[in-house]
Structure 1
Amino acid sequence: MSAERVTAQYNEEFRIPGSDLRTVAQHVKDFPTLVSWPGEYLARPLFVAEHEIREFADDVRCLVEILFSLPDRMFGGDLDAFRSVLGISDGRWEVIRRFGDLVPPYYGRADMYHDGTSFKLLETNLGSETGGWGLASEMSRATMEVDAFADFARRNRLGYVHPVRAVVEALRRFGARVAPGREPVVALLEWRGGLKDYGELWLNFQSALRSAGLDILVAEVSDVHERGGALYLGDTKIDVVYRSFVPDQIAEEPGGWDVVEPLLNAHRAGGTLLWTPLSSTMFANKACMALLSDPARRRDLGEDECRTIDRVLPWTRLINTDALKTDTDLVDECLERREQLILKVNARGGGVGAVVGWETDDATWRRALENSAAEGCIAQQRVIPRSELVVDPVSGETEEWHAVYGMFYTPQGCAGADARVVPAGSGGIISGMSHARARAAAVFHQSEPPAGGEVPAAGESPVDAAK
């Protein structure tokens, strides 16, 4: 049975009067580790084929490994030339270089649409500042606690990967360098004043990690101090810092270097390890996707690598002031293809600064190209997400929703998925921050039928190695 047929069957059972499937969203909302999250939940989870998300995960891993090789393969090891193309300022570059560790671990969240045929990559979101791990984990866990859904999952071979448990495994392996034979002491550090805005989200993450068996401290960078080549929070030595701040905060805020100096000293001394270096933001820069997509820039990539890139990455081109001056063909193409393209600012996320070509007129689009080019942006081919059919629990009507999926990944592989959904026709950008009716949704994968025909137990299961 395909994921579409699972959806149809779920909606049919959902419509049955008195069906407990109708209680799933409320159960998730009331789940102990999610009650502090301010958002709403879709009336049902989303379903994908396990083999499909596994194949996409393999392609994303290959693509990200190519990203890590770009400075050497496209720029001959000239890091200044690489960062110049990405539009990284002198201040941000100094932060990245002083913290060293230019090649980050494979850790983050790939955002993608499903176009009805396959998944298409929108962003890589490398680095520990990427959120959503706790929400994704606990939505799936809470959904499985509803007996009616657990029975449906068993009958349809549905499972999920718990992202936070994959985080715990990754942090334990990483922390073993300084904490052999014992549990590492991990501290999530926000920037100065950051817990005021993001504290509830990180406390949700902390609660999810603790439920998965790993304690984690939550504090701000200004709360810690360095002693003897290691970082301390009060009298507690920190083995691993889970970073949730970015280079801009160090480079641009007054006294930023003073705030981060204890962490920098402990990191250099090796007494405290930094999970995901600040270079993660460099490889998450959207301009990197344009470098991969543009045939004129990837002459040194192999045929198999190019096929992988083209399979998952929409047509993407770099737009900056140099391009506007020198590449008239590209500019003309972007002007002509306005209704097929979206502009995204290289170093921003969450749809901030994006301009949707099919929602603007020609004059507005031309100005947007000029204005966005000054900051550095990409033009990317539009991907139309497939419709996700959802039965409204009140009206009983079937509604169409569009989803942006998030696939989490760690060095051990695919670490599960979740989704943000909005009603179809709500606009060209799917974002939980910009739509009043945006919803979060758990994602379950459907495994292939076993050779012997026996129905396996439902629940948490590995897609790759992560569990």
Structure 2
Amino acid sequence: MSAEWVTAQYNEEFRTPGSGLPRVAQYVKDYPTLAPWRGEYVARPIFFAEREMREFADDLRHLLEMIFSLPDRMFGGDLEAFRSVLGIDDGQWEVIRQFGDLTPPCFGRADMYHDGTSFKLLETNLGSESGGWGLVSEISEAMMEVDAFADFARRNRLGYVHPIRAVVEAVRRFGARVAPGREPVVALLEWRGGMKDYGDLWRNFRSALRSAGFDILLAEVSDVRERGGALYLGDAKIDVVCRAFVPDQIAGEPDGWDLVAPLLRAHQAGGTLLWTPFSSNMFANKACMALLSDPARRRCLGEDERRLIDRVLPWTRLISADVLRTDTGLVDECLERREQLILKANARGGGSGIVVGWETDDATWRRALENAAAEGCVVQQRVRPRSELVVDPLSGETEEWHASYGMFYTPQGGAGALARMVPAGSGSVISLMAHASARSAAVFHQSELPVWGEVPVLSASPAESAK
């Protein structure tokens, strides 16, 4: 049975009078650990073959290793030259340099589309500020509590990965450096005022962690103090900080350095550890993908590595002031191929800083390319997401939706996936933050073995992950 067959079977059973499947989305919305998010959910999950998910997770791990090696392989270890090509300004670079730890752990969420043939990587989102961990964990778990869905999952050998448990394992291992033999005290720190905008997301994250037997503190960077080489929130000593802010927030505000001074002192003293250093943001810069994609720059890579890049990464090129001045051929190509290209700011996320070539005219596209050079952007080949057929639970009509997928990963391997979906034709940027109609959906994989329910990480073998 293919994933397409499972989808068709699910929709058929969904339409059957008396089916319990139409009630699944509402059950998910009311699920206690998802209540803080207050989001909307698609009427069905998305299905993939376990082998396809596992192979992409493996490709992603190798691609991240290549990205981490870029300073040495392409720039002879010259970090100044590397950050210059990435467009990282002096203020942001000072943040990265002061906090050190220039090789980050593999921890974050890779965003991709599926074009009907395979997954295509859009961005890597390294770092603890990457959101969605709690959503994917709890949506899947909630669905499995609905008898109608649990029965469907059993009959079709469906399983899922619980990212929150992978987070707990990774943070416990990391925190053992300062908290041997006990549970580390972990605080997620937002930037000043950040809880107003993102508090619902992080409260969902905390609820999901609690359901897995692990708790964290939620605060803003202005709430903590340093004492004796460690960070404190009130009387609680913090062993590990999961940051939810980025270098440009520190460098871009007059008192930014004052706000992070306690964290910096505690980090340098070793009393409080920083989970995912600010160098994560350097390697998550979209220009890194352009360096891998451009044949002129990747002669230092092996043949197998180049094949992997071409398999998972769309055509991606760097747009900067130097490029516009020196590479007129690339500029002409971008102008000619406008309807096939999308422009993205190197260091932004959530759909911000995107110009969609096929939704603009020639003059607007030319201006966008010229303006993009000042900030630093990439231009990327359009990936047309495959259509997902979803039955509306109220009308019974079958609708086409498009999905952007987030694959979560930790140092131990791939850790599950989430879908963010919009109705087909409603817009080209699929983002929960940038699209009013966007909804979340779980991703289940169909195993070749009789697996049912939650499995560990996608880097494990099918036999090891069977439950």
Under a length normalisation based on structure 2, what TM-score does the superposition of the two structures give? 0.97
C-alpha deviations, 1:153-202, integer Å up to 9, x for none? 01101010111111000001111111111111111111122112211211
- Cα 1:266–1:43 shift into 2, 3 Å: same
Gaps spanning 5+ residues in structure 2: where? Answer: none
1-side partners of 2:353 and 2:202: how far apart?
25
Q: Does 1:463 align with 2:439?
A: no
2-side partners of 1:63 and 1:34: how far apart?
32
Equivalent position of 1:341 in the other structure: 341
2-side partners of 1:256 and 1:356: how far apart?
33
What secondary structure sits across from 2:250 in the alignment?
helix
C-alpha deviations, 1:416-438, integer Å up to 9, x for none? 11110001111221112233321
Equivalent position of 1:274 in the other structure: 274
2-side partners of 1:74 and 1:40: how far apart?
44
Counting matched residue pairs gives 462
Instruction: Describe how 1:111-190 pairs up with structure 2 within 5 A.
Output: 111-190=111-190
Gaps spanning 5+ residues in structure 1: where? Answer: none
Equivalent position of 1:432 in the other structure: 432
CA contact (8 A) 2:240 2:273 kept: yes
What secondary structure sits across from 1:106 in the alignment?
coil
What secondary structure sits across from 1:71 in the alignment?
helix
Match of 1:375, as an amino acid? E
Equivalent position of 2:5 in the other structure: 5
What secondary structure sits across from 2:399 in the alignment?
strand
Q: Which moved more, 1:54-63 or 1:33-42?
A: 33-42
CA contact (8 A) 1:159 1:461 kept: no
What secondary structure sits across from 1:131 in the alignment?
coil
What secondary structure sits across from 2:442 in the alignment?
strand
| CA displacement at 1:461 relative to structure 2 | 4.7
CA RMSD of aligned residues (A): 1.2
| CA displacement at 1:43 relative to structure 2 | 0.4
CA contact (8 A) 2:108 2:408 kept: yes
1-side partners of 2:343 and 2:431: how far apart?
16
Match of 1:396, as an amino acid? G
1-side partners of 2:301 and 2:246: how far apart?
30
Instruction: Describe how 1:249-268 pairs up with structure 2 within 5 A.
Output: 249-268=249-268
What secondary structure sits across from 1:126 in the alignment?
coil
1-side partners of 2:433 and 2:119: how far apart?
23
Equivalent position of 1:108 in the other structure: 108
CA contact (8 A) 1:20 1:148 kept: yes
CA contact (8 A) 1:150 1:459 kept: no
Match of 2:18, as an amino acid? G
| CA displacement at 1:381 relative to structure 2 | 0.4
CA contact (8 A) 1:160 1:462 kept: no
C-alpha deviations, 1:328-386, integer Å up to 9, x for none? 11001111111111000111111212111111111111111111112111110000010
**Identical aligned residues as a percent:** 80
Under a length normalisation based on structure 1, what TM-score does the superposition of the two structures give? 0.97
Match of 1:464, as an amino acid? S
1-side partners of 2:391 and 2:454: how far apart?
24
Match of 1:105, as an amino acid? P
1-side partners of 2:39 and 2:406: how far apart?
17
| CA displacement at 1:93 relative to structure 2 | 0.5
C-alpha deviations, 1:3-46, integer Å up to 9, x for none? 11000000000000111001110000000011121321000011
Match of 2:271, as an amino acid? G
1-side partners of 2:433 and 2:103: how far apart?
31
C-alpha deviations, 1:26-76, integer Å up to 9, x for none? 000000011121321000011111100110011111111110011111111
CA contact (8 A) 2:164 2:208 kept: yes
Equivalent position of 1:391 in the other structure: 391
- Cα 1:23–1:78 shift into 2, 3 Å: same
1-side partners of 2:451 and 2:336: how far apart?
52
1-side partners of 2:206 and 2:227: how far apart?
25
C-alpha deviations, 1:395-422, integer Å up to 9, x for none? 1111110000000000000111111000
Equivalent position of 2:195 in the other structure: 195
CA contact (8 A) 1:144 1:459 kept: no
Q: State the 4+ residue runs in structure 1 displaced beyond 4 angstroms.
A: none
2-side partners of 1:433 and 1:462: how far apart?
28
Q: Which moved more, 1:197-206 or 1:292-301?
A: 197-206
What secondary structure sits across from 2:441 in the alignment?
strand
Equivalent position of 1:308 in the other structure: 308
Q: Which moved more, 1:126-135 or 1:199-208?
A: 199-208
Equivalent position of 1:56 in the other structure: 56
CA contact (8 A) 1:153 1:459 kept: no
| CA displacement at 1:207 relative to structure 2 | 1.0
Match of 1:4, as an amino acid? E
2-side partners of 1:174 and 1:187: how far apart?
14
Equivalent position of 2:36 in the other structure: 36
Instruction: Describe how 1:342-361 pairs up with structure 2 within 5 A.
Output: 342-361=342-361
Equivalent position of 1:366 in the other structure: 366
1-side partners of 2:242 and 2:147: how far apart?
36
CA contact (8 A) 1:191 1:220 kept: yes
